[in-house]
A and B are shown apart, each in its own frame.
Chain A
Amino acid sequence: MTTATNHRTPASSPNVTPALEVRDVSKNFGAVQALKSVSFNITPGKITGLVGDNGAGKSTMVKVLSGVHAPSSGTLLLDGEPIVFSNPGQARAAKIETVFQTLELVEEFDVAENFYMGQELTRLGPLRIRRTAEMRKEAAVAVGQLGINIPGGVTRKVRTMSGGQRQAVAIARAAFWSSKVLLLDEPTAALGVRETAQVLEVIETLRDQGAAILLISHNMKDVERLCDNVVVLRQGRKSGHLTGEFTGQDCVSYITGAVSDLDTNEAGDGE
């Protein structure tokens, strides 16, 4: 797979079907309504932002999309087909990968082992002998294609790597297994400036390669730089959907409730 590195792919024509369509999704936890009838699309070759204040429902939305929670009502359409997940494994099988806020890497493992964890290539049938050399090679190719530079290569243990390198590896792993939708939950939250830049580059490279990406972030600079459109959640509802030209300040206005697309200005009981 060869890729152009610095240009947006022409795949962003208006007729592109969304990879994942979220339609009127609601989620209740007992009396608490965490999501109220939220709809948006995640499109290949685009980065869709999902922003909102703490408790606005971002994490709940990610969990619904990644199969951790089933929606109370509403539907998810993957390539136009309705789908229902009852566990994260099914979402993964449908090629929806998630990188959670808390890094899900094993520190004692090297990059290649983390890449293939749980899905190792094996030989000799039931003996399940690992094909180590092959996995290292594949992982090295995948890491190289995203322009991630890890001194020491894919046999470097995650424990010895910086936060940015770890996050880059986590994203590369998700992209490696996902051919459709990538959900990134606060990928730069715990990173310094240089490390953030490193991770953002990886995300842009993935976008250019045609991945459909949902980026959950608190960092409006990142959102402004990366996102093609932004969904704003406020008290579990979609209070705004920004497309075209927008600034981080626009997002903040929606997040704080200074501006809202919602008809009624009810003071929700939130969480």
Chain B
Amino acid sequence: MNDKSTATKFDDTGVEVATQSIRESLTFRNAGIYYALMLIVAIFTWWSYSSSGIFYLNASNVENVLEQAATPVAIIAIGMTVLMVSGNFDLSVTSNAALSAMSIAIAIEHQWFDFLGSVEAAVVASLIFGIVVGSVAGLLNGLIHWYVGLNSFIVTLGSLTAYRGLTLLIANDASVDVRFRKELTEEQIANNDRETEEGVFLGDLIGDTIGDFNLLLLAGIGFLVAAGGMRISGQGKVPIRIAIAIGMLSIVSSVFVDYTTSISHKLVVLVALLIITWAFMTFTAPGLHLYAVGGNLEASKAAGINVALYRIVPFVFVGFCCGLAAVTYIAEQKNIEPNLWFGRELWVIASCIIGGVSLTGGSGKVMKSMAGALLLYTLLNGFQINRVSPALQDTSIGVLIVASAAAYVVAERRAAAKGKI
């Protein structure tokens, strides 16, 4: 009898789970960022069309916004979300990314990896070197934070300046070319003369884009992959069906709507990083431990979670993302400035805050931070298309950051009041 009652009880809760989560997930509190993004896109579409007859939401402009957002802000925002969920914070991200980029440039200039014998091998080795530099710089932040017991805000406030200084130092305060030598003759190595050098830029090696694709088709495939992930992890039926429905709809409409544009390398990197991180955070046990460590450190310790690991590794991951951002940047550039992305760390953090990541840890979603980054760059792009003055652009974006944070606080308070009654 007891077993029977528990069984029915579970069925009841099972139903409750499904209906509650679907209704819950559509509330302003949970999906507000997506509504805001849609609203702003709608406003710009109307504005651009009525003022200049441009269709704002055309495929190449969408790709344009994605590209602008991707490097460095969106890519690093993924790492930042993971770090903030674990209860920490990194102000040094763009200094770290500049350091990584400069390390790659220096490695190329000084031919550190030419001993590998081919240009391709030297390219790959230099890029990996940059990612390693970024990860190590992140690790250093993490180790100082955890083992010295310093607040991560203070640690990274210091490394923000220190990593930038180091970048200037290794660059000798000047911009550095990222040009691989095509042939490695002894004369060229001995006679290190830029003018006569046969050079090849990374962009020349890999091309500007990976080719033309229909964005609707890609989005459709993305939704189906997400549905598969939710199925594997045993999520409720309703969200899976919705994901499949949207995915199928996108794929079918891609046949009729020619929403084709060229896809750049950094977009591929961004999407791959996003999907892997999202799946990790959403479906795996270690992903959940990140939230646990950020939400309640003592409870996590008591539950036998290796808290040191989950507090330090996110710093390394942010550093890795910084290195990745550097790599995607170098793939399209001919030289690296030592003051690259100066002050842009605030955009990374703003993306996360607009996306609703908690400053105190324990909650946040990478998809929402991504929407936050897109929101920022949609605004920027829309303002540029409609020729809004830069001063007004900055003011609007500042207002947006505070307004979105305020909206979350208010929505949270209202939900709490409702829940308690």
Hey, which bits of chain A sit against chain B, CB under 8 A? Answer: 2-3, 88-89, 92, 100, 102-109, 113, 117-120, 122-124, 127-134, 136-137, 140-141, 144-145, 152-155, 160
B16–A127 touching, CB < 8 Å? no
B13 touches A102 (CB 8 A): no
Q: Is B383 an interface residue (CB 8 A)?
A: no
Digitize B119-159: 1 where CB-to-A-CB distance is under 8 Å, 0 elsewhere.
Answer: 00000000000000000000000000000000000000000
CB–CB A119/B2 < 8 A: no
Q: How many angstroms between the C-alpha atoms of A130 and B286 in the bound complex?
A: 9
> With a CB–CB cut-off of 8 A, which chain B residues contact A141?
6, 10
CA distance A142 to B10 in the complex (A): 11
Nearest CB of chain A from residue B299's CB, rounded to whole Å: 4
* Closest-CB distance, A157 to chain B (whole angstroms): 9
Q: Is B234 touching A132 in the complex (CB atoms < 8 A)? A: yes
**A130-B233 in contact (CB<8A):** yes
Which residues of chain B have C-beta atoms less than 8 A from A153's C-beta?
9-10, 12-14, 16-17
Distance in Å from the Cβ of A147 to the closest Cβ of chain B?
10
Beta-carbon nearest neighbor of A135 in chain B: B234
- Does B391 make an interface contact (CB < 8 A)? no
CB contacts (< 8 Å) of A144 on chain B: these are 5-6, 9-10
Is B399 among interface residues, defined by CB-CB distance under 8 A?
A: no
**Is B362's CB under 8 angstroms from A140's CB?**
no
User: Are A109's CB and B295's CB within 8 A?
Assistant: yes
Q: Which residues of B contact A100 (CB under 8 A)?
A: 302
Q: Judging by beta carbons under 8 Å apart, are A118 and B291 in contact?
A: no
The answer to whether A132 and B21 touch across the interface, beta carbons within 8 angstroms, is no
Min C-beta distance of B35 to chain A, whole Å? 22
Tell me if B284 and A155 are in contact (CB < 8 A). no
CA of A149 to CA of B234 in the docked complex: distance in angstroms? Answer: 24
Answer yes or no: B333 CB below 8 A from chain A CBs: no
Known: A109-B295, A123-B232. 9 other contacts (CB 8 A): A113-B288, A118-B300, A128-B284, A130-B233, A132-B235, A136-B13, A136-B17, A141-B10, A160-B420
A2 vs B6: C-alpha distance in the bound complex, in angstroms?
11
B267-293: which have CB < 8 Å to A?
Answer: 283-286, 288-289, 291-292
- Given the known inter-chain contacts A118-B289, A129-B233, please indicate yes or no for A2 contacting B2, CB distance below 8 A: yes
CB distance from B289 to the nearest CB of A (A): 7
Name the residue of chain B whose CB is nearest to the CB of A140: B10
Docked CA distance A118–B302 (Å): 9
Among B20, B283, B298, chain A packs the most CB atoms within 10 A around the CB of B283
Contact B292 A109 (CB under 8 A): yes
Q: A89-B304, A100-B302 are in contact. Are A133 and B234 (CB under 8 A)?
A: yes
Contact across chains for B234 and A131 when beta carbons are under 8 A apart: yes
Given contacts A145-B6, A153-B12, A155-B20, contact A118 B295 (CB under 8 A): no
A134 contacts B234, CB within 8 Å?
yes
| Contacting residues, chain A, for B305 (C-beta < 8 A) | 117-118
CB contacts (< 8 Å) of B296 on chain A: these are 104-107
Alpha-carbon gap, A122 to B233, bound state (A)? 9
**B234:A106 contact, CB within 8 angstroms:** no
In the complex, chain A residues whose CB is within 8 Å of the CB of B295: 106-109
What is the CA–CA distance of A2 and B5 in the complex, to the nearest angstrom? 12
CB within 8 Å for A104 and B284 given contacts A117-B305, A118-B289: no
- Which residues of B are interface residues toward A (Cβ below 8 A)? 2-3, 5-6, 9-10, 12-14, 16-17, 20-21, 232-235, 283-286, 288-289, 291-292, 295-296, 298-300, 302-305, 362-363, 416, 419-420
Decide: A130 and B288 in contact? CB cutoff 8 A: yes
Chain B residues with Cβ below 8 Å from A132 are 233-235
Residues of A within 8 A of B16 (CB): 152-153, 155
A3 contact set on B, CB distance < 8 A = 2
CB neighbours (8 Å) of A104 from chain B are 296, 298-299, 302-303
Q: Are A106 and B289 in contact (CB under 8 A)?
A: no
Most buried by B among A2, A107, A128: A128
Tell me whether A140 and B9 are in contact in the complex, defined as CB-CB below 8 angstroms, given that A2-B3, A128-B284 are known contacts.
yes
B21 is contacted by which of A88, A117, A155 (Cβ under 8 Å)? A155
Q: Which residues of B contact A122 (CB under 8 A)?
A: 284-285
Contact of A106 among B2, B12, B291, B420 (CB under 8 A): B291
Q: What A residues does B2 contact at CB under 8 A?
A: 2-3, 145
The listed residue with most A CB atoms (<10 A of its CB), out of B3, B292, B299, is B299
Among all A-B residue pairs, the 5 with the closest Cβ atoms: A153-B13, A118-B303, A133-B234, A144-B6, A104-B299
Q: Give the Cβ gap from A9 to chain B, nearest Cβ, in Å.
A: 16
> Which of A104, A118, A160 is the most central at the interface, judged by chain B CB atoms within 10 Å of its CB?
A118
| Chain A residues within 8 Å of B285, by CB | 120, 122, 128-130
Q: Which residues of A contact B363 (CB under 8 A)?
A: 108
Interchain CB contact under 8 A, A155 and B299: no
Chain A residues with CB under 8 Å of B300's CB are: 106, 117-118
Report yes or no: A118 in contact with B10, Cβ–Cβ below 8 A: no
Contact A106 B299, beta carbon cutoff 8 Å: yes
**B234–A160 touching, CB < 8 Å:** no
Q: Shortest CB–CB separation between residue B397 and chain A, in angstroms?
A: 29
Task: Considering the complex, give the chain A residue whose CB is closest to the CB of B284.
Answer: A128
- Complex Cα gap A140–B234 (Å): 16
- State whether B419 touches A160 (Cβ < 8 A): yes
**Which of A2, A109, A145, A155 contacts B13 (CB under 8 A)?**
A155
Q: Are B291 and A155 in contact (CB under 8 A)?
A: no
Bound: A131/B232 CA distance, A = 8
Q: List 9 A-B contacts (CB under 8 A).
A: A107-B295, A109-B292, A118-B305, A123-B232, A130-B288, A136-B13, A136-B17, A152-B16, A160-B419
Q: Which residues of B contact A133 (CB under 8 A)?
A: 234
The distance in angstroms between the C-alpha atoms of A216 and B317, with both chains bound, is: 43
A88 and B307 CA atoms in complex are apart in Å by: 14
B271 smallest CB distance to A (angstroms) = 20
